[in-house]
Structure 1
Amino acid sequence: MRLAMISLHTSPLQQPGSGDAGGMNVYVLSTATHLARRGVEVDIFTRATRKGQGEIVEVDPGLRVINIVAGPYEGVSKEALPTQLAAFAGGMLQWAHCHNERYDLIHSHYWLSGQVGWLIRDLWRVPLVHTAHTLAAVKNAHRSAEDSPESEARRICEQQLVDNADVLVVNTEQEEADLIHHYDAEESRIRVIPPGADTELFTPGSDRATERARRELGIPLHTKVIAFVGRLQTFKGPQVLIKAAAELFRRDPHQALRIVMCGGPSGQHATPEEYRQLASSLGIERKVRFLDPRPPAELVALYQAADIVAVPSYNESFGLVAVEAQASGTPVVAARVGGLPLAVADGETGILVAGHDPHDWADALAELLDNDEKRIAMGEAAQRWARKFSWQASAEKLAALYDEALAMDVEDCPQRHARGD
């Protein structure tokens, strides 16, 4: 089987946690890696963003990243990428023609990639599998008051993909329900395949490893640590954690507590300075430390150094950070949204918080900070819980789905048309 994956707006080789790189990058690279190990030949097509990055990057045996030139290398925001869809599609077609490459199936990730996949599917006459990862209607339904809404143009494009893709892959049953409710998707074309985590890399550390990690972070051994890992954008909720931390210090100004924010800014005009200023305005700037995004091999040390990992997102299709943290033996306090109730066993491996009120978050965090026995027991249960999720299992289910899609008679499938509503 030869598979063309499309990840137009962000390369799977980009460092997660900054810009447009996040859990989707990890998902694409991890599933592609394990699919290649199963004998599926995978080419991931993404937009070139640097002149010297090379057209073809050999990642693993059977796995390549193809950098397609579409628009200027730099200075094109994600919001402007719809203007480059035709250029990207043309670049993909030209590359496949010049290299005499043929593919059995297309799997697109995110709506921008899906629009390209939809066009090429009909030219190559192969099945199109699409994974949205996030949906405009869902993001708008859950966004905070200060967050900008997703455009109606994006929602329409997503509706077209829901109507025209041969198979829709979602991470959770909640995502399936969202597709049906917001986009009137046909249940028969939806498949639920949970993502995984690298449970061989993300493991609990010894006391000595935790001490070393804290020493490298400059955090005293006997200080409690709450970590946030992800892009610094309103939708991910870093401001919720900072405000909750301020409430904790208001209740007990002398407690030994530090907040570690690991991630980079995301979105137009985004900067980590706004979150530093928020901490300063709340009088806790010396209690909050900001770290640049880290590769997985270094990120595991941060998870191990933390007593709690907070995931205050306004929505998550799954919650990869929550699973990685639990695999590292760290309990999670997360918002009760999206796929997080699947990723976190409420009351067993962490606590799910309804809403984003900083006082409620302070209560949940304090419940674990003040009860060492409960927090340690949750950490031990978290490691066992996280073993349920693996990229190998995700790839196995995807490979079976691809076989199912290939059994479809694409030539005889009636063309579905977007309703444009």
Structure 2
Amino acid sequence: MTPEAAQGTRRLRVGCFLGTDGDYGGAGRILWNVLRHADRIGIEPVAVLSRRGPGVAELEARGIPWTVWPKEDQGVAAAAFRAVRIRGLVREHDLDLVHCLSGAFGWRAWELRALRRAGCPVLVHTQRPIPAASPYLRHTDAVAACSAYLAGELRCDAPVHAVHDLVDAERMQAGRSLRAELGIPPETRVVAFVGRPRTAKGIGLFLEVAASGLLPDTRFLLSVQRGNRLPDTWDEETLRARIAAAPQVELLGHVARIEDVYATADALLLPFLGEEPCPAVLEEAAVAGVPVVTSRGGSVREYVEEGLSGLYVASPSVQNLAEALARVLEGRPAADRRGGIAAWGRERFLERPIRTLRAIYRALGGGADRTAEAC
């Protein structure tokens, strides 16, 4: 029984502005996983898509009402019109509060001003730093940052809460091994890299470790995920040229069922070189029960329980990374190790965020004393 049912109160109706038309991973997955766990959080969600798209099928299968709010950056002349429309949307769907991803309204975000003036509480969720002058910090009632590290970097008058992203545990623990498909024998050790092909993500070091020969009888899988192209992103020609020097590496490209990569790997190697604000791959790996070898930059230390879910390497050289991987791969039997990691990951990246979000929603929406009136 949910807390709301036990207390005899109605659930808060939360408008989740996704800023996208489907779950494509990355930051956009944050609110999709909120929708998937709405019953456990104790809310009645209304999904607001940027346009009709692939996500509609899942929403309708789950019985979640949805509507469309285009992400636009129109000028001041359009601000009044959009302000009237957003208030109408709130009334139409009887919303108690709005939970939006940073960027969901475009960079001007006229809607945030209108919601505040109408007295509708707003929670902004972010996976990355936001400039202090941004409307997403100036016109919100609270901010959910995906790590304590990121929360400490934000400069905002509104309360800032550290809320690790919810992970879809059922999905991450339901992967199927790709070993047979890839021709990898059961006894061969498998190390994977999951992420965007960027220098800051440590893809170069991953390939150097694979080519070093320090881990014989080991296959390396490279799952390159799609995303915005940043200056340090490798193009396909560079990527394939580097892989040619490491025949132990299998380029998988973008894998939609990323849980299958986790089910195949004995360990992940993610030697981040920058200050990572929110490495979601570490959350997914933990819930899937896969140990990781990584660095400590930014928020990474919040995502790995050293000695249980993985190891940190203070100076990520090829030698140090290979030695850490050898220790992880020679640990306890795989099933035993994965079960312990998954239990820790589920509590850290599912149960705890559910409790935190429930408390934030109640504080913003009025909790048990909230009446049935919309904003």
Q: Which position in structure 1 is the counterpart of 2:23?
A: 14
Q: Which position in structure 1 is the counterpart of 2:358?
A: 399
Task: Write the distance in 1 (CA, Å) between the matches of 2:200 and 2:67.
Answer: 30
Report the TM-score when normalising by structure 1: 0.69
Q: Which position in structure 2 is the counterpart of 1:324?
A: 284
RMSD: 3.7
1:259 aligns with 2:216: no
Give the alignment partner of residue 62 of structure 2, picking from 17, 38, 60.
60
Report the TM-score when normalising by structure 2: 0.77
Task: Write the distance in 1 (CA, Å) between the matches of 2:174 and 2:58.
Answer: 36
State the Cα deviation string for residues 278-328 of structure 1 (Å, max 9, x = none): 222xx11x2212224334xx4333212211112333344443322332333
Residue pairs, 1:344-383, within 5 angstroms? 344-354=304-314, 356-369=316-329, 371-373=330-332, 378-383=337-342
Task: Write the distance in 1 (CA, Å) between the matches of 2:55 and 2:337.
Answer: 44
1:294 aligns with 2:255: yes
CA contact (8 A) 2:287 2:342 kept: yes
CA contact (8 A) 1:311 1:335 kept: yes
Residue pairs, 1:38-57, within 5 angstroms? 40-48=43-51
1:130 aligns with 2:94: no
Task: Write the distance in 2 (CA, Å) between the matches of 1:349 and 1:43.
Answer: 35
1:241 aligns with 2:206: yes
Secondary structure, in 3 states, of the residue corresponding to 1:364?
helix
For structure 1, list consecutive stretches of 5 or more residues without a partner in the other structure.
17-21, 72-81, 137-154, 409-421
Closer, same or farther in 2 for the Cα pair 1:384/1:239, shift >3 Å?
A: same
Task: Write the distance in 1 (CA, Å) between the matches of 2:229 and 2:255.
Answer: 22
Q: Which position in structure 2 is the counterpart of 1:3?
A: 14
State the Cα deviation string for residues 354-395 of structure 1 (Å, max 9, x = none): 3554443333223334x3448776545323322313535523
CA contact (8 A) 2:197 2:225 kept: yes
- The CA deviation at 1:167 is 1.0
For structure 2, list consecutive stretches of 5 or more residues without a partner in the other structure.
1-11, 368-375
The code of the aligned residue for 1:97 comes to G
Task: Write the distance in 2 (CA, Å) between the matches of 1:260 and 1:376.
Answer: 20
CA contact (8 A) 2:59 2:66 kept: yes
- The CA deviation at 1:108 is 1.9
Q: Which position in structure 2 is the counterpart of 1:415?
A: none
- The CA deviation at 1:126 is 0.9
Q: Which position in structure 1 is the counterpart of 2:191?
A: 226
Q: Which position in structure 1 is the counterpart of 2:161?
A: 191
Q: Which position in structure 1 is the counterpart of 2:88?
A: 97
Secondary structure, in 3 states, of the residue corresponding to 1:3?
strand
Give the alignment partner of residue 306 of structure 1, picking from 265, 282, 288.
265
Task: Write the distance in 1 (CA, Å) between the matches of 2:335 and 2:266.
Answer: 9
Task: Write the distance in 1 (CA, Å) between the matches of 2:343 and 2:58.
Answer: 39
CA contact (8 A) 1:2 1:105 kept: yes
CA contact (8 A) 2:123 2:142 kept: yes
Give the alignment partner of residue 238 of structure 2, picking from 250, 270, 274.
274
CA contact (8 A) 1:317 1:339 kept: yes
Number of residue pairs aligned between Structure 1 and Structure 2: 349
Closer, same or farther in 2 for the Cα pair 1:268/1:337, shift >3 Å?
A: closer
- The CA deviation at 1:219 is 2.0
Q: Which position in structure 2 is the counterpart of 1:120?
A: 114
Give the alignment partner of residue 151 of structure 2, picking from 176, 188, 201.
176
Give the alignment partner of residue 31 of structure 1, picking from 34, 39, 62.
34
Q: Which position in structure 2 is the counterpart of 1:384?
A: 343
Task: Write the distance in 1 (CA, Å) between the matches of 2:57 and 2:185.
Answer: 46
- The CA deviation at 1:229 is 1.8
Secondary structure, in 3 states, of the residue corresponding to 2:170?
coil
Closer, same or farther in 2 for the Cα pair 1:39/1:90, shift >3 Å?
A: farther
Closer, same or farther in 2 for the Cα pair 1:215/1:394, shift >3 Å?
A: same
CA contact (8 A) 2:141 2:159 kept: yes
Secondary structure, in 3 states, of the residue corresponding to 2:92?
coil
State the Cα deviation string for residues 258-296 of structure 1 (Å, max 9, x = none): 21111334334864443222222xx11x2212224334x
Task: Write the distance in 2 (CA, Å) between the matches of 1:311 and 1:89.
Answer: 47
Task: Write the distance in 2 (CA, Å) between the matches of 1:299 and 1:367.
Answer: 25
Task: Write the distance in 2 (CA, Å) between the matches of 1:58 and 1:96.
Answer: 24
- The CA deviation at 1:134 is 0.8
Task: Write the distance in 2 (CA, Å) between the matches of 1:42 and 1:87.
Answer: 28
1:341 aligns with 2:292: no
Higher mean displacement: 120-129 or 315-324? 315-324
Q: Which position in structure 1 is the counterpart of 2:180?
A: 215
Task: Write the distance in 1 (CA, Å) between the matches of 2:119 and 2:140.
Answer: 12
Residue pairs, 1:138-157, within 5 angstroms? 155-157=131-133
CA contact (8 A) 1:304 1:328 kept: yes
- The CA deviation at 1:227 is 0.9
